[in-house]
Amino acid sequence: MLATKAEKIRLGTVIRLLEEGQPLVECFAAEGGSCPVDGICRLKIRLRRAEEAFLADLDRSTLADIALPLSVPA
């Protein structure tokens, strides 16, 4: 049983909560990890944008969109 209706729960919110404290890649960690190419890496910004786009896309859907049966008009 959910405390909030599935139609009001955004998938991006769920993923953010489940993944809290688990960075996408090591260099996103609070302590920065131990990346040998830190400072010259051009991938980090792209990965950050990809992560943001992924979460933004999930924010467009709700738990109901993926978990509840589709309503069939009568």
- Is there a domain that residue 1 lies in? no
Beta strands in 23-66 (DSSP E): none
Asked if residue 15 lies in contact with residue 55, where contact means CB atoms within 8 angstroms, the answer is yes
Total-model pTM: 0.74
Give the domain extent around 27: 6-65
Number of compact structural domains in the chain: 1
Is 20 inside any structural domain? Answer: yes
* pLDDT confidence tier of residue 73, bands split at 50, 70 and 90: low
The predicted-structure confidence for 32-72, as pLDDT tens digits, reads as follows: 677 777 778 888 889 889 999 999 999 999 999 998 777 66
Amino acid of residue 43: L
Would residue 33 count as lying in a domain? yes
Does the residue 28 lie in any domain?
yes
What is the residue-wise DSSP string for 40-60?
A: T-SSHHHHHHHHHHHHHHHHT
